A and B are shown apart, each in its own frame.
Chain A
Amino acid sequence: MTLDPNDPRLTAYALGELDETERAAVESELLFSEAARQEVEEIQATAGLLKEEFSSEPGFELSQSQNALIEHRLDSRTTRNSWTTSRGLYAGGALLAAASLFLVVYLNWSQRGTSLENAFEKDRNGKTIGREISTGRVAKELPKPFEVANPRKPPVQQAPRQGSNKRPVGQIAREGQGDAGTQLTVRDQLVSQLQSQAGQLVRKEVVGNTRLAVPMVPPATLRPTAGPGGGGGTAAHSFLQKFLLQDKVSVPQGYDSEELKSSHDKGRYRQNFNTEAYDRLVDNPFLRAIQNPLSTFSIDVDTAAYANLRRFLSSGALPPKDAVRIEEMVNYFAYSYTGPNNSDPFSTQVEVASAPWKPEHRLVKVGLKGRDIAQEKRPPSNLVFLIDVSGSMQPPNKLPLIKRGLPLLIEKLTENDRVAIVVYAGASGLVLPSTTCDHKAKILTALENLEAGGSTNGASGIQLAYDTAVANFIKGGTNRVILATDGDFNVGVTNQGELTRLIEEKAKSGVFLSVLGFGMGNYKDSTLEKLADNGNGNYAYVDSLQEARKVLVEEMGGTLITIAKDVKIQVEFNPALVGAYRLIGYENRILRAEDFNDDTKDAGEIGAGHTVTALYEVVLAGKEGALPGIDVLKYQKPVEASRESKSRELLTVKLRYKEPDGMTSKLMQFPVSDRGAGWAQASRDFKFASAVAALGMILRDSPYKGNATIDSVLELAEAGKGEDKQGYRSEFIDLAKTARGPVEGTKITN
C-alpha cells in the first residue's frame, strides 16, 4: 500500500500539523513510497517559497489616531474591567490608567490641535461603514454584529456567520472525535467507515495492516526539515513527470453485487419490482376551501418519474403506482410560457378552464418560467462529477451510458469552467482533480478510463465530491455536484435519514446537487429523489443517450444554473367561489401553510429557462357535495364573505423564492379570476399538460381520473402538441399509445 500523493495528510505532515500518532502513521507509510516522500519535499519547498514571497509584500498600518484610540481604550479597559471582574480591586490601576489616558488625550490634542474625538471622526469621514463612533461611547455603541461578541463564550465554539455555511467535512463519519487535536482526513474517515462494516474489510486489510506491520522508523529520518530545502535530487524530475503524464485511473474492483445477476430481467417487473424502491404515494384528496383555504407546496422540476415510467411502458409493463409522480411527468415537458420582462427570476402565468376529465370541474394551471440565460452569458461552472463505479453499474445502460452521456455536456463547457471527477464504490477517490475545460482531452480520458466494480459507499463519495466542489468554489458561478448512480448505496452510511442529513448539511456550503439516475433492476428512486430534494438539487432519470442529451445539453441551463431557490407556492382559494380543490401531483412536496413564510424551510429550485407547471382541480362552491371523501358539513356556517371574497377572484397565487445565494425570501402575489372558459378554448400548453396529468392519473388508477381514457389523452395531446420542435410531445403521444396495452390489460386481469 503506497500512500496516495493526493492524501491531504501528506500536506499536514509536511507542515508539521499532525499529532504524534498521526505523524508516526504517515512516516511509516512514507517509508514505502518514494513518490510520497518527494511530495513532502515539494510541499515544503512551496511553503517556503510562499512564506518568502509573503514577507516581501508591503506592510499596512492603522492611522495614528486609530492607534491612539485603541491604546486609550486598552488602557482604560484594563483598568476598569479586568480587575472588577477578576479581583474587585481597581483603585490603584484606575488612577494610573486615568493618568495615562489623560496623557494620551493631551498629547493628541496638543500635537494635532484637535480633540481625540474630532480626530477620530475626521478619520472616518468619507468612509462608508455607515455608523458613527465617538470616543466616549465607543464600547457601548459598537454594534455586536458577530456572534463572537458574547464574552461568555469562547470564540472557538462559534462559527462565524459566513463561515458557518461551509460545513465541516465529515459530519457523519466523525463519531466523538469532534475535538481539537484529532485531525481526521477524508481518507481516515473512509477507513474508519470501512472498518466499521463487518464483512467489508476491503481496505482495512490493506491500510490497517500496513500500519501495524511496519516497524517504527527513527523519526529523524523522515521528519520534515524546518524550512525549505532537503535532499532528494530526483524529486524534481518525477515531480514534473507526475503532472505531465496522465495518471491511469484505477478503481477498486470486484465485490458483491448480487443484484447484478438479475438486473436485466425485464419480465419481473410485473410480479416483483421490490428491489426498485419507490415511496408510497397517495393522491392528494379534495379539500374544502372553507376549511383549508391555503394550499402550500414546494415546486419540483425533477423529471425522473417520466423517463422512468417510459422505460416501463416501452417494455410493455405497467409501472408501479408509486413510481408515477404526476408533477414530474407534467414538468418533463417545456411549455411556451413567456419569461420575466423585469428583474424577477421567473414569470408566473395562470390559466383556468374546464377539466377535460370532468367538465363540471375547473382546472387551474399555474405556470412559472425561469429567466433564460444565453449560453455565452452563462456564469463559469465548477462541476464535480460524482460517479458510482460499483459493481451494479456495469450494465450498458449505466456506467457505459454515463461515459457516453457526460461528454455531451463536457463538449459544451469552455475554459471558464472546471470539471473534477470523483468516483466511489467500496472506497472513493478523486480521479480527476478540478480541471479547466480547455483540457478536454484530459477530462475525457479520465472519464473513458472508468470501470465498474465493488460495493457502493455513497456517503464517502458525497463527502469527497462536496469537499472538492468547495475547494474550487467559484463565487457567482455555478457550483454543482453531479451525482450519477443507480442509487443503490449498500456500504457506509446507507440509512436514508443519515444520508439525507449529510446532503442537507452539504447543501449549506452553497454547492448545488444534480442527481442523474441510471439503470434498472435495483434502481433506488426513493433515495435519489430525497437526495436531490434535500441537496438544493434537481433529479433526472437517464435511460438513453437521447435523454442524456435532453438533460445535459438542451436543458443545460436549467440543470446547471439555479436562478431561484426554495421556491414555494401558496394558493389561497376564495371560499365564496371555490367549494373544494385538489392539487394534482406534488404529493411529496406538500408543505404546511406556516412553512410558506418560514425561510428556514427548504423547497425546490428553478433553473434558467426552466418551466414549472402545477395543476389544481377546483370544484365551484355549492357543487362539492358529491365528491369522494367529502361529507356535507353540518355545523359550519355558510361562507363569511369578506369584501375580497365578493370579488370575482377565484384564488390568489403567492410565491416565495430566494436568490440562489440569498438567505431571505421574496414574495410575489397574483390574484386570479375565472372567465369560465371550456378546455377546448384553452391554450395548447393547457391541453397538453392536462393530457399528461390525465395519463398519470390513469397509470396511477387514481380515484380522481374521472372519464379520462387513453383515447381522451391522445385527443388532448394531439390538440396540445403544437410545433413540438424537439419531438418530446410526439414521443408522449406514442408512449400513451403503448400504454394502452398494459392499461387495458390490467383491467381485464382485475
Chain B
Amino acid sequence: MKSSENQDQSSNLKALLHRLQGPLIRYAFQITGDLECSRDVVQDTFLQLCSENRASLNGHLEPWLYTVCRNRALDVRRKEGRMNPLTEATGEPSSDSPDPSVSIEQTETLGSALKILETLPASQQEVIRLKFQSELSYKEISQVMGLSVTNVGFLIHTGLKTIRQTMLAQPRANSKVLRRIK
C-alpha cells in the first residue's frame, strides 16, 4: 500500500532526525557558539528538508543536511556578529581548572587530542570533526564545505599531523599515543 510505504519513509526520516540532531547541533554550535541558536539552526535545517524534493536528495541526504546546517549557521553568525568559538577557543577549556596538575590530569583523561584540536585553524577543526565525529567521507565533506576533495584531504592531513606533533611534545599525552601504536 502507498500509505504504508509513505509511513515508512516518514519514520525513516524521523529516525534520521533523532540520529542526526545531536551531531548537527554540535556542528552548528562550533560555528555559532550559541547553543540556542544552534538548536534553531538545526530545526530550520530539518524544516528545510520538509520542503525539499527528497527524491533529489537520495543517496546524499546526510551531506545535504550538513550543508544546509552549515550555511544556516554561518548566516546566523554573520547576522549576530558573533565570534567563532573555533577561532578563539585556544586555551579556553583549561581555564576552568586553576590547578595545573589537575588540568594535566584532565588533559589525559578528558581528551588531550581534543584540546589540541581546539588550537588548530578553524577549517582544520571543521574537517576533522566532520571526518571523525560525523564520519563523513572526504567527498561528502568536500560537498558540505564547498572545498575540493584534494583540499579536504590536505586539511585533514595537516590537522592530524599537528595533533600528533603536539602530542609528542607533551610527554604524558605522548605515552597514550605511543601505547596505541604498540
Whether the pair A471, B155 counts as a contact (CB closer than 8 A) is yes
Q: Write out the residue numbers on chain A whose beta carbons fall within 8 Å of the beta carbon of B75.
A: 145-146, 161
**Please, how many angstroms separate the alpha-carbon atoms of A526 and B70 in the complex?**
41
Return the contact of B123 from the options A147, A160, A470 (Cβ within 8 A). Answer: A470
Which A residues between 17 and 53 are near B, CB-CB below 8 angstroms?
17, 41-43, 45-51, 53
Q: Write out the residue numbers on chain B whose beta carbons fall within 8 Å of the beta carbon of A129.
A: 37, 40, 76, 79
Is A669 close to B, CB under 8 A? no
Q: Write out the residue numbers on chain B whose beta carbons fall within 8 Å of the beta carbon of A164.
A: 146
**Most chain A Cβ neighbours within 10 Å, of B111, B150, B154, B176:** B150
Return the contact of A166 from the options B67, B151, B161, B181 (Cβ within 8 A). Answer: B151
Which B residues between 143 and 167 are near A, CB-CB below 8 angstroms?
143-151, 153-161, 163-165, 167
**Please, how many angstroms separate the alpha-carbon atoms of A228 and B182 in the complex?**
10
Is B94 close to A, CB under 8 A? no
**Please, how many angstroms separate the alpha-carbon atoms of A6 and B157 in the complex?**
8
Q: Write out the residue numbers on chain A whose beta carbons fall within 8 Å of the beta carbon of B56.
A: 151-154
Given A148-B64, A151-B52: A45 and B132 within 8 A (CB)?
A: no
Produce 1/0 per residue, B120-147, CB < 8 A to A: 0111100011011100011100011111
Whether the pair A475, B50 counts as a contact (CB closer than 8 A) is no
**Please, how many angstroms separate the alpha-carbon atoms of A54 and B47 in the complex?**
27
**Please, how many angstroms separate the alpha-carbon atoms of A79 and B43 in the complex?**
20
Whether the pair A151, B53 counts as a contact (CB closer than 8 A) is yes
Whether the pair A17, B137 counts as a contact (CB closer than 8 A) is yes
Is A628 close to B, CB under 8 A? no
Which A residues between 211 and 235 are near B, CB-CB below 8 angstroms?
228-230, 232-233, 235
Interface residues on A, range: 35 or more
Produce 1/0 per residue, A227-254, CB < 8 A to B: 0111011011001100110000000000
Is A10 close to B, CB under 8 A? yes
Whether the pair A42, B1 counts as a contact (CB closer than 8 A) is no
Whether the pair B150, A46 counts as a contact (CB closer than 8 A) is no
Return the contact of A85 from the options B47, B53, B128, B168 (Cβ within 8 A). Answer: B53
**Most chain B Cβ neighbours within 10 Å, of A11, A57, A139, A152:** A11
**Please, how many angstroms separate the alpha-carbon atoms of A522 and B154 in the complex?**
34
Whether the pair B150, A79 counts as a contact (CB closer than 8 A) is no
Q: How far is the CB of A626 from chain B (nearest CB, A)?
A: 57
**Please, how many angstroms separate the alpha-carbon atoms of A410 and B71 in the complex?**
38
**Most chain B Cβ neighbours within 10 Å, of A41, A59, A71, A244:** A71
Q: Write out the residue numbers on chain B whose beta carbons fall within 8 Å of the beta carbon of A180.
A: 139, 149
Q: Write out the residue numbers on chain A whose beta carbons fall within 8 Å of the beta carbon of B181.
A: 41-42, 45, 230, 232, 235-236, 239
Whether the pair A85, B55 counts as a contact (CB closer than 8 A) is yes
Is A15 close to B, CB under 8 A? yes
Stretch of A62-70, A440-448, A452-460, A615-623 at the chain-chain interface:
A62-70
Whether the pair A86, B10 counts as a contact (CB closer than 8 A) is no
Given A62-B21, A62-B43, A87-B2: A159 and B146 within 8 A (CB)?
A: yes
Q: Write out the residue numbers on chain B whose beta carbons fall within 8 Å of the beta carbon of A472.
A: 121, 158
Return the contact of A93 from the options B6, B64, B164 (Cβ within 8 A). Answer: B6
Produce 1/0 per residue, A102-124, CB < 8 A to B: 00000000000000000000001
Produce 1/0 per residue, A140-173, CB < 8 A to B: 0010011111011111101111111011111000
Q: Write out the residue numbers on chain B whose beta carbons fall within 8 Å of the beta carbon of A43.
A: 160, 164
Whether the pair B111, A46 counts as a contact (CB closer than 8 A) is no
Q: How far is the CB of A334 from chain B (nearest CB, A)?
A: 33
Nearest CB in chain B to that of A120: its residue: B43
**Please, how many angstroms separate the alpha-carbon atoms of A181 and B149 in the complex?**
9
Given A66-B43, A166-B151: A60 and B71 within 8 A (CB)?
A: no
Interface residues on B, range: 35 or more
Given A89-B2, A232-B181, A476-B87: A160 and B153 within 8 A (CB)?
A: no
Whether the pair B153, A17 counts as a contact (CB closer than 8 A) is yes
Q: Write out the residue numbers on chain A whose beta carbons fall within 8 Å of the beta carbon of B156.
A: 8, 11-12, 15
Given A46-B113, A170-B148, A239-B168: A78 and B10 within 8 A (CB)?
A: yes
Q: Write out the residue numbers on chain A whose beta carbons fall within 8 Å of the beta carbon of B22.
A: 59-61
Whether the pair A8, B2 counts as a contact (CB closer than 8 A) is no
Given A50-B128, A66-B43, A229-B180: A168 and B155 within 8 A (CB)?
A: no
Which A residues between 168 and 208 are near B, CB-CB below 8 angstroms?
168-170, 180-186, 189
Nearest CB in chain B to that of A166: its residue: B147
Given A77-B50, A139-B51: A8 and B71 within 8 A (CB)?
A: no
Return the contact of B138 from the options A17, A47, A138, A158 (Cβ within 8 A). Answer: A17
Whether the pair B50, A61 counts as a contact (CB closer than 8 A) is no
Q: Write out the residue numbers on chain B whose beta carbons fall within 8 Å of the beta carbon of A95.
A: 3
Produce 1/0 per residue, B1-40, CB < 8 A to A: 1110011011001100110011001100100000111111
Is A713 close to B, CB under 8 A? no
Whether the pair A51, B132 counts as a contact (CB closer than 8 A) is yes
**Most chain A Cβ neighbours within 10 Å, of B42, B113, B145, B149:** B149
**Please, how many angstroms separate the alpha-carbon atoms of A239 and B56 in the complex?**
47
Q: Write out the residue numbers on chain A whose beta carbons fall within 8 Å of the beta carbon of B153.
A: 8-9, 11-12, 17, 183, 185
Is B104 close to A, CB under 8 A? no
Is A97 close to B, CB under 8 A? yes
Whether the pair A63, B71 counts as a contact (CB closer than 8 A) is no
Q: Write out the residue numbers on chain B whose beta carbons fall within 8 Å of the beta carbon of A74.
A: 10, 13-14, 17, 46, 49-50
**Please, how many angstroms separate the alpha-carbon atoms of A288 and B105 in the complex?**
77
Is A496 close to B, CB under 8 A? no
Is A668 close to B, CB under 8 A? no
Given A60-B21, A70-B47: A82 and B148 within 8 A (CB)?
A: no
Q: Write out the residue numbers on chain B whose beta carbons fall within 8 Å of the beta carbon of A154.
A: 56-57, 60
Is A433 close to B, CB under 8 A? yes
Q: How far is the CB of A38 from chain B (nearest CB, A)?
A: 8
Given A78-B6, A162-B71, A471-B155: A66 and B149 within 8 A (CB)?
A: no
Is A474 close to B, CB under 8 A? yes
Q: How far is the CB of B91 from chain A (nearest CB, A)?
A: 13
Whether the pair B121, A471 counts as a contact (CB closer than 8 A) is yes
Whether the pair A78, B43 counts as a contact (CB closer than 8 A) is no
A-B pairs, 9 with minimum CB distance: A163-B146, A168-B148, A53-B111, A159-B146, A8-B157, A60-B25, A11-B157, A146-B71, A151-B53
**Sample of 12 further A-B pairs with CB below 8 A, known A139-B50, A474-B87:** A11-B160, A42-B177, A49-B180, A57-B133, A59-B22, A60-B22, A74-B17, A127-B40, A129-B79, A154-B56, A155-B68, A166-B147
Sample 24 A-B pairs with CB under 8 A, ordered by A number.
A8-B150, A8-B153, A8-B156, A12-B157, A15-B131, A46-B160, A46-B167, A49-B113, A54-B114, A60-B26, A69-B47, A70-B43, A73-B47, A74-B49, A82-B6, A87-B2, A124-B40, A148-B71, A155-B64, A169-B151, A189-B150, A240-B168, A473-B121, A475-B122
B residues within 8 Å of A by Cβ?
1-3, 6-7, 9-10, 13-14, 17-18, 21-22, 25-26, 29, 35-40, 42-44, 46-57, 60, 63-64, 67-68, 70-72, 74-76, 79-80, 84, 87, 110-114, 117, 121-124, 128-129, 131-133, 137-139, 143-151, 153-161, 163-165, 167-169, 174, 176-178, 180-182
A residues within 8 Å of B by Cβ?
6, 8-12, 15, 17, 41-43, 45-51, 53-54, 56-57, 59-63, 66-67, 69-71, 73-79, 81-83, 85-87, 89-90, 92-93, 95-97, 124, 126-130, 138-139, 142, 145-149, 151-156, 158-164, 166-170, 180-186, 189, 228-230, 232-233, 235-236, 239-240, 243-244, 433, 467-468, 470-476
